[in-house]
Amino acid sequence: MLPAVKDYRALARRRLSRFAFDYLDGGAEDGRTLDRNLAAYERLIFQPRIMRDVTTVDASVSLYGRRQSFPAIVGPTGLNGLYWPRAEEALAQAAHAAGLPFAMSTASTSLLEDVRASTDGDLWLQLYVQQDRRIAETMMQRAQALGFSTLMVTADTMVHGKRDHDVRNSFKMPLRITPKLLLDLATHPRWCARMLRQGGSPQLVNLAKSAGTQVNINLQAAAMSRQMDMALDWDAVAWLRDHWRGNVLVKGVLSVDDAVLAQRHGVSGIVLSNHGGRQLESAPSPLEILPAVIDAVGTGLDVFVDSGVRRGSDIAKARALGAKAVLLGRAPLYGLASTGPQGVRDVLQILRDEFEITLRLLGVPRADMLDANALSPDHRARLARL
Ligand SMILES: Cc1cc2nc3c(=O)[nH]c(=O)nc-3n(C[C@H](O)[C@H](O)[C@H](O)COP(=O)(O)O)c2cc1C
């Protein structure tokens, strides 16, 4: 096992083709949002307490009636088949072995049915809503029948953010074969061999199945961005509730006003997220708005946070500020892209170990006891100075 998530990132950079690594790792435009996400965690300082009994620590938390090993969810990411064959199955199995839920993307490259068959752990569905609402309805129906527990609708992706690296690498759907792409492939033969083993380019099979269309990555990806429902508004919550029996979360909230609106429309929770800095450039970091959101919604709404979590101590900071749990985006993917399923298991183990070490060093024996007392008294001012 490598020492830290950043070591898996470095290994992934060497092992993946250039366009695949940039797609995984990069942010929108000049990367200001991406940098801000990391800076927010860097800026927060703990206030540890000593002479407290931390012989045993309990990192577990309760979420929607289930106990999970630490406050994290393996978050939804699309096109995972670019990194390893049967990527979603690997992510789900590793999440469940680590005692965490796995959220599967609409843009996944395995079927919901295949992932369910590979594990009996807690599965969540991430939904992108397209103009033809029947596609989302069919996907919800399939997920419910398979016992997915939680629905998370992503509302920050009306269009894809401007990602310069994808343009530079000519990585856009439909994929154009350029000399640069051919060179990229030729210099990463092991990665090419893995892709060939899974039958070539990964496919958006889930979307194809719900849309009843041909399985063709180019058609699917083009259709997905063209046909996103840009008219989606808060009235959609009632529609989602009609089609989903369990918890409904809205992902992509970045303002106190939207958090309050989400609560008023009766969602179970929100994910404060800027999509890992991949969408709007110069967006706030979810961490910096977390305290004001918690002030506004109180305990009546579950508030999750993502974007920039790379360490167990980051998870402790988010939890201390009032988040129920964090979503992990890139971190498990770095593991997957470097050493496959074992890499995902390693990354989750590292994050859990770091979280437990942080609890002990803070003098907080239980994750449930983490609150703002574990942070420096000036933590709000520190975030405000970002
Ligand atoms: C490669 C990649 C693909 C993603 N695909 C999706 C997706 O299909 N649906 C979604 O809601 N979010 C998607 N996200 C955003 C993540 O769910 C999450 O919000 C973000 O990665 C968190 O930031 P982090 O990567 O810094 O942890 C994606 C992120 C990455 C890195």
pLDDT over 90, % of the chain: 85
- For 37-51, 121-135, 184-198, 253-267, which range has the lowest pLDDT when averaged over its residues? 184-198
Task: Work out which ligand 1 atom sits closest to the CA atom of 107.
Answer: 8
> With 90 as the cut, is the pLDDT of residue 7 above it?
yes
What is the distance between the alpha carbons of residues 89 and 74, in angstroms, rounded to a whole number? 12
Atom 8 in ligand 1: residue holding the nearest Cα: 78
- Both structure tokens of 310: 């790379």
326 CB under 6 A from ligand 1?
A: no
Query: Which pLDDT band holds residue 332 (cuts at 50, 70, 90)?
Result: very high
* Ligand 1, atom nearest to 34 Cα: 26
Structure confidence at residue 219 (pLDDT): 67
pLDDT for residue 172 is more than 80: no
Averaged pLDDT for residues 369-382 = 97
Q: Which atom of ligand 1 is nearest to the CA of 328?
A: 27
Q: Confidence class of residue 153 from pLDDT cuts 50, 70 and 90?
A: very high
What average pLDDT does the structure give for the chain? 95
- CB 9 near ligand 1, within 6 Å: no
**Band of the pLDDT at 96, cuts 50, 70, 90?**
very high
- Among 110-119, 193-202, 286-295, the minimum mean pLDDT is found in 193-202
Q: How far is the CA of 54 from the centre of ligand 1 (A)?
A: 35
pLDDT reading at 174 higher than 60? no
Which of 151, 169, 275 has the most ligand 1 atoms within 8 A of CB, as the residue to mutate?
275
Of 283, 314, 383, whose CA–CA distance to 31 is shortest? 283
State yes or no: pLDDT of 206 exceeds 70.
yes
- Structural domain boundaries enclosing 214: 5-384
CATH number for the domain spanning 95: value is 3.20.20.70
Query: What is the total count of domains within the chain?
Result: 1
Task: Cite the active site residues.
Answer: 275
Each residue of 109-127: pLDDT tens digit? 999 999 999 999 999 999 9
- Given the CA of residue 152, which atom of ligand 1 is nearest to it? 11
Q: What tens digit of pLDDT does each residue of 239-253 get?
A: 999 999 999 999 999
- Per-residue pLDDT band for 224 (boundaries 50, 70, 90) equals low
Residue 226, pLDDT score: 65
pTM over 0.85: yes
Ligand 1, atom 1: closest residue by C-alpha: 24
Task: Check if 33 has its Cβ closer than 6 Å to any atom of ligand 1.
Answer: no
Residue 78 Cα to ligand 1 midpoint, Å, equals 7
Phi/psi-derived region of residue 325, left when phi > 0, alpha when psi is between -120 and 50, beta in every other case: beta
Does 28 score more than 80 pLDDT? yes
Residue 308 Cβ inside 6 Å of ligand 1? The answer reads yes
The mean pLDDT value for 218-225 works out to: 67
Q: Which pLDDT score is estimated for 335?
A: 98
Q: Which one has a higher pLDDT value, 335 or 212? A: 335
